[in-house]
Each structure stands twice: as structure tokens, then as C-alpha cells.
Structure 1
Amino acid sequence: MGIKKIFLVSTLLRGRGGMESVLRIFSEEMKRRGISVRIIFLGVFKKRKHDLNWLHGLDYTILFPNYPFKDPIRTFIENKRLMKIILEEEPDACIALNNAAIQALWSLKKSGLPIVIHSWVHFSLNILHNIKILKKADHYLAISSGIAREIESKLNVDPNHIDIVFNPVILTKNRIPKPKHGTVRFLFMGRLTEQKDPQLLFYALENLKGEWRLDIVGDGHLKEQLMKIAEEGGFLERITWHGWQPVDPWSYVQENIKNVSALVLSSRNEGFPMVLVEAISRGVFCISTNCPTGPEDIICEENGVLTPVGNVEAMRDKLQSQIDKNEHSCTERSEIIAHSIDKFSVDQYASRILKILEKAKQRDNDD
């Protein structure tokens, strides 16, 4: 029997996050295995808001990119077209990436469409609106242990209907070495927004002793506030602002920054922070807040350290420890770090999720 065709249903994504990276890796690996993946988007396309470059080469459909009417007319017509596509193409699995997608698929199922709704949300339930909609799913793909616990406790879902899949990462052989000597270099990669809490990092940088620099690959509306904090703290000249790198930020780091002592994640919450596994796969040590959810599944003794969310002093201590150690580039150490996340390899991930989808399909056929 097996899985031959998968539909991913979602509202339009901005095109600049870890979720987009996961969907591309997922789609390309399934294609390599002879399985087609089609991404179907709900909602209105807005050029200023949505960057579609990440979808290049993928099979995707925006149901009504410029449809003029608002809810509930738009929703009704979108659902009709979605049902038509599902009936015509008969996917083996329908996976919803957010509440709106779950609601749309549930409406079709309620109308008689025989589908199993898999929920694959990429954020902690603590930040999602109207989480009761998630209860309309039949099965849950949890990208972290924390999200699995949240689904079970907050939605009262039978744990037999929850599977932890993590997220896939391409385990590159490219390594980003530490500086050979001298200044410690910290790297922040991500959006400069409240969720990522770069303010925590900047306040922690105040009063650090020793030679250090911070490279920021990313952009966002908090940049001016961060520059003010750095200026008042007397370390603005230690920061290099590289801006958003839309194509391949890690290639940019390797070509332009070259050496990294540690990547820093200061987030208040995550779903499964891909930036951590991407850094670790390149042999980069990580300092991360133990935010809900994800870091606890990724960070271990071999590859990094965790700090409490929002705790400036704890973050400062971990940064200072890196400066005090000032360990130089070591090939053996980089390899130990890189291999600490082999369980997140694309191959293991794809085999894991296909086994889960096949089991759900078989169970549905038996019913």
C-alpha cells in the first residue's frame, strides 16, 4: 500500500522562517523517495507580506491568491475548491500546518469527505489562538517533546494519537570553525522580534569582560531599540549587522563571518528551533534559553548549554564562560558537536514520519 501522495495545507507563510526550511527539506526528501508532496495555501497573497522565493521548484497551489471577497464567502469557495482537488487527486495523507487548515479540512470531513486530519503545528500551544480547533484533528505530529506534552495536557488527547517526529536537518559535512585565537565571536541568527527576545541577549552583553564580537544575521522592527541598548552599554562598535540573508544564510556565514565561537538563541518560545540543529550540524556550540519548546530535545552536554527564559544574569554567565575559556578551533570537538544530532538526519526523519502516516492510513482503512 504505502504512501505515494501527501497534501500539506496551510495559510500563506511569510517565507523567512524555519518552518519554510522544514517544508522544503521534507518535500525534497519525499520527492527523492518517489513520493509527491503538494502544498496548498489558503488566504490572500500580499506581495509586501509574503515572499514566495522559498517555494521555487516545489509543487504548490494558492487556492485564490487575489480573491476579493472576505469571510465567510471566501472560506466557503476555498473549501469547495480544496474538496475538488482532494477528490481528484486522492492524497494518501492530509497534513494541516495550522488552525485555519485544520478547520478547513474538518469542514470537508464533516461534509462527508473520508480523510484523516494530521495536525503538524510548528509552535508551542501557549502562543496559538483558539487551540480548541486543534481538537478537530485525528492525529498529531509533534515536533518536540514539549509540544507533545502540551497536546496531551491542554487538549486532553490520547497519547496514542500523538507521535513525536522532531524536524529534519540536512547533516552537512561543512564545519564552521571557532576563531583560531583572540576575540570570541557570538552569532545571532533570526528575526529581531519579541518572540526571539534579542533584548535579553543585548542586556546580557553589558559588562562582559574580555574580547568579544557579535554578528547578527537577520532583521526586524527591534533593530533600532537594540542599537540604542548597545550604544548606552558602550558596545555598539562590537556588533556587525549583516541583515536578512534570504537565499542561504549559512553559506553567507561561512563565506563572510568564517569563524563562530557560539550561536546564541534567546527566544521566549519556539516550536522546534531549526537554527540550533543547523548550527550544531556545522560543529557550532550553542547557548540557548530553555524555552518552550524544542531546545530540551536538541541541546545536550556535547553541543551546548541551556539557560532559563528571560534570565539576563544566567545568559551573561554562559557568555562570559565562553570568553573565559576562549577555546580555539578543534576539529575533533567540532565533529563531536556535529554528530550529537544524528537522530535529526533527513533520512531518519523521513522514515519515521512515513511509518507514522502509513500506520494511520492502515488504521483508517481497517475502520
Structure 2
Amino acid sequence: MTKILVLIPKLRGIGGMETVINEWIDYFNSNESKFEVTFVAPQGIENISRMHTGKRVYIKKPLAWLNLNRIHGFLDVLKLLVFSHYDIVICLSVPLLKACAIIKLFLGRKFAIVSWFHFSLNKIIKNSDEIFLNMCDFHLAISSGISEYLFHHGVSKDRIGLIYNPSGNLHVSKRRDVYSKNWNNGVLQLAYVGRVLWKGQKNLQFLLEGLTKFQLPWRLRIIGTGPKSDLYLLEQYVQIHNLTEYVSIKGWQANPFELVTDQMDFVILTSEYEGLPMVLIEAIRRGIPVISSDCPDGTKDVVSPENGYLYRVRDMTDFIHVLNTAFYQKKTFSYDIVRNSGSKFDTSKYFMRVEKALKQIDEVHEC
């Protein structure tokens, strides 16, 4: 039995990365596999209520003092790698990767180090980090953009496994063939699902500014939460520009897609960068078309002419053009075609790719 340790960074507990980790926990707890996988979050996770449990899952609340939490986390990793035997160690952050590489180097351990990053590498990898990328025995890439980044920074293709992300166990209660009933109201109905960040990655400022310039009828439903300062800026913008009739802010929801009803024409994302946005995968697997920025990494793996539209990042003219196209062509999307366009993200297909990659790592490590 090959023993694998998955090291999870400090997380909020409510995002897409946590959703994928939960899928791994469920899969390796309930399916026969030659891999025994242990999950550890050495610095804890803020909201552990959404995290799944199992006999090899060790997730705690983080300590209040940040520096003590970091030290405690490093000591936990050190203890795990010194006193337990693992064949493969999968790291989900650069600091965890560095810690494992240093421990392996100085203590002479034989485990294989694997990266599994969920963010755009252009944003999280510094020049000084590239040496650690090449110290990895293998990389699990969640998007073609991440795979290409690794290859162009010296990682050979045989050390990269493109696995994408899973769509999860979706509960689609009814078909969206009711399009014709809902889409004749002459309004473009949009839903934003995710972290509320006014500037930076999610760039809701761009979304709201674009919609205020859009000349056709629209409505926007925002489902998610974020820092108080960002929520304040969003609410202020809505009030100052008299958009309360057009923008509804629903806050964080445990099951956000329950509010993305059949009356929503598109799920929209205006991010400046992504790893592989789970929200787009979850939308198309429910038959809901999408509009998204064409990020350097993951969005082009999800969005196609069959299921929605891409616009150039930070290009307002192109964004308005896409909104106009979406308004007039929204009735052309087929529920079945949109759903099937995301079939490669089916959980069963996803774990076939994961198992294949892990077997490849195991074979190389045994050699």
C-alpha cells in the first residue's frame, strides 16, 4: 500500500479549493485504491464545519496568534515527516513545498514531493521559488495554463499530470428546457458566485462599472462574501449609482446554486487571474451558460462557444461587446449541450486521471 500525505495550507473553509479537498477525502475514504491517503492541515482551517471527515483526516482550527500558528504548523510537518513513513507528499502551497523540500534535503528522507497548486502560478511563484519547483518529483496541474507555466520554467512534461478539477456530486433537480419561458422578459439576468473582492483577483469593480455602461436591461445577483472593506465598497457603489433595483447582494450561502435559479441566464466571472475556477465548472455542469474573463490559466479550459463567452481581461470594450452578444443570443444555448461541454470534469473521470497520475509518481519513485 502506497502511503500519501496531503498537506493543506491555512484556508477559510468556504472556497473552491476546500470543495476539491473534500472530494478527495470522500473518494479515498470510500473507494478501493492502492493508495492510503492522509490529509493534514498543519496551520488549521478557519471554518471546519464544511470540511469532510475521515479516519485519516486531521484538520483543526488555527491558533489565534499568526506567528505561533506558523511555527506550530512547521513543527507538525517536521514531526510527520520524521516519525511517519510516507511514500508521496503532496503540497498545496509554496511554503509547504519549501518546508518539505528542506526537510527532505537535510534529513535524507526518500519520499516523493508533489505540488498541487490551485492558484495562478504567475501570482504565487517568485523567482526564488523556481528552484523548489524543480526539486519536486511531480506536479499535479489543475489547468492547461499551470501545465504550460511549469513546462516553460524547466519542468519536463513527463513530470506534469494535467488533472483539472472535479464538478462534484451535483443535484440538478430539473431540466433547464424552461429557457423559453424565462428568457422572453427582455432582461439579461446574471449571477456572480464567489468571494467578494472589489479590486484584485475577482475585480467586482470592473463588473459593476461595465454593467453601468451596458445599455440594455440587466439584473445582477451577487452570492458570496468577502472582507468588510470590500463589501462596504460594493454596497457604496450600488447606493451611489442608484443600482439597488438592479443589484441584489445575498451574502455567503452554504448552497449558493440554489439561488442561481432557472431565471438566471448566465453565471459571470470578471477575475484578473484564476487557477481553475470551480464556479464555472459547477455552472456548466448544471446547464447554466457562463461569461468569463479570459484569464492566463484556467478559464479557457472550461468556457467554449458551446457554453458561453470569454472576453479579454480588463478590456471594457470587449466586455460590453460580450454582454451585448449574450443579451441577444442567450436563447440559443441548449441545456444538454452546456452540461455535456463539461463532461471531462465529471468526478469519475477526474479520479481516473488522479489515479493515473499517482500510479505514475509511484512507479517513478520505486525506481
User: Could you say whether these structures have the same fold, taking a TM-score greater than 0.5 normalized by the shorter chain as the test?
Assistant: yes
- 2:312 is the counterpart of 1:311: no
Cross-structure match for 1:353: 354
Contact 2:42 2:77 (8 Å CA) reproduced: no
Once residues 237 and 196 of structure 1 are traced to their aligned partners in structure 2, the CA distance between those partners, rounded to angstroms, is: 23
Structure 2 portions without partners, runs of 5+: none
Once residues 97 and 292 of structure 1 are traced to their aligned partners in structure 2, the CA distance between those partners, rounded to angstroms, is: 20
- 2:94 is the counterpart of 1:99: yes
Name whichever of 103-112 and 172-181 sits farther off.
172-181
Cross-structure match for 2:193: 189
Cross-structure match for 2:256: 249
Displacement of 1:170: 2.6
Cross-structure match for 1:117: 113
Counterpart secondary structure, 2:341:
helix
Cross-structure match for 1:138: 137
Once residues 164 and 143 of structure 1 are traced to their aligned partners in structure 2, the CA distance between those partners, rounded to angstroms, is: 6
Identity %: 28
Counterpart secondary structure, 2:301:
helix
CA distance change for structure 1 residues 67 and 258 in 2, over 3 Å: closer, same or farther?
closer
**Pairing 1:195-234 to 2, within 5 Å after superposition:** 195-220=201-226, 221-234=229-242
Cross-structure match for 2:7: 9
Displacement of 1:306: 0.6
Displacement of 1:292: 2.2
Match of 2:108, as an amino acid? G
**Pairing 1:1-367 to 2, within 5 Å after superposition:** 3=2, 5-35=3-33, 36-43=36-43, 45=44, 50-58=46-54, 59-62=56-59, 65-66=62-63, 70=68, 74=72, 77-84=75-82, 86-87=84-85, 90=86, 92-110=87-105, 111-130=107-126, 131-132=129-130, 133-153=132-152, 155-170=153-168, 172=170, 174=172, 177=176, 178=179, 179-182=182-185, 183-193=187-197, 194-220=200-226, 221-245=229-253, 247-250=254-257, 252-253=258-259, 257-325=261-329, 327=331, 333-366=334-367
Once residues 137 and 291 of structure 1 are traced to their aligned partners in structure 2, the CA distance between those partners, rounded to angstroms, is: 26
- The Cα offsets for residues 333-352 of structure 1, whole Å up to 9 and x where unpaired, read as 11110001111111111111
CA distance change for structure 1 residues 349 and 266 in 2, over 3 Å: closer, same or farther?
same
Displacement of 1:113: 1.8
Displacement of 1:28: 1.2
TM-score w.r.t. the length of structure 2 is 0.86
Once residues 70 and 27 of structure 2 are traced to their aligned partners in structure 1, the CA distance between those partners, rounded to angstroms, is: 37
Counterpart secondary structure, 2:331:
coil
Structure 1 portions without partners, runs of 5+: none
Aligned residues: 349
CA distance change for structure 1 residues 150 and 308 in 2, over 3 Å: closer, same or farther?
same
Contact 2:42 2:72 (8 Å CA) reproduced: no
Match of 2:117, as an amino acid? V
Higher relative contact order, structure no. (Cα contacts within 8 Å, ≥ 6 residues apart): 1
Displacement of 1:185: 1.1
- The Cα offsets for residues 267-303 of structure 1, whole Å up to 9 and x where unpaired, read as 0000010100100000111000001210111111100
CA distance change for structure 1 residues 65 and 324 in 2, over 3 Å: closer, same or farther?
closer
Displacement of 1:104: 2.4
Contact 1:176 1:259 (8 Å CA) reproduced: no
- The Cα offsets for residues 306-352 of structure 1, whole Å up to 9 and x where unpaired, read as 10111122112222222234528x7xx11110001111111111111
Contact 1:263 1:279 (8 Å CA) reproduced: yes
Once residues 209 and 76 of structure 1 are traced to their aligned partners in structure 2, the CA distance between those partners, rounded to angstroms, is: 54
Counterpart secondary structure, 2:80:
helix
Once residues 306 and 288 of structure 1 are traced to their aligned partners in structure 2, the CA distance between those partners, rounded to angstroms, is: 5
Once residues 221 and 61 of structure 2 are traced to their aligned partners in structure 1, the CA distance between those partners, rounded to angstroms, is: 40
CA distance change for structure 1 residues 85 and 265 in 2, over 3 Å: closer, same or farther?
farther
Counterpart secondary structure, 2:84:
helix
Match of 2:149, as an amino acid? E
Once residues 67 and 186 of structure 1 are traced to their aligned partners in structure 2, the CA distance between those partners, rounded to angstroms, is: 38
Match of 1:319, as an amino acid? L
Match of 1:96, as an amino acid? C
Counterpart secondary structure, 2:251:
coil
CA distance change for structure 1 residues 340 and 180 in 2, over 3 Å: closer, same or farther?
same
Displacement of 1:64: 9.6
Once residues 168 and 301 of structure 2 are traced to their aligned partners in structure 1, the CA distance between those partners, rounded to angstroms, is: 17
Displacement of 1:172: 3.4
Counterpart secondary structure, 1:222:
helix
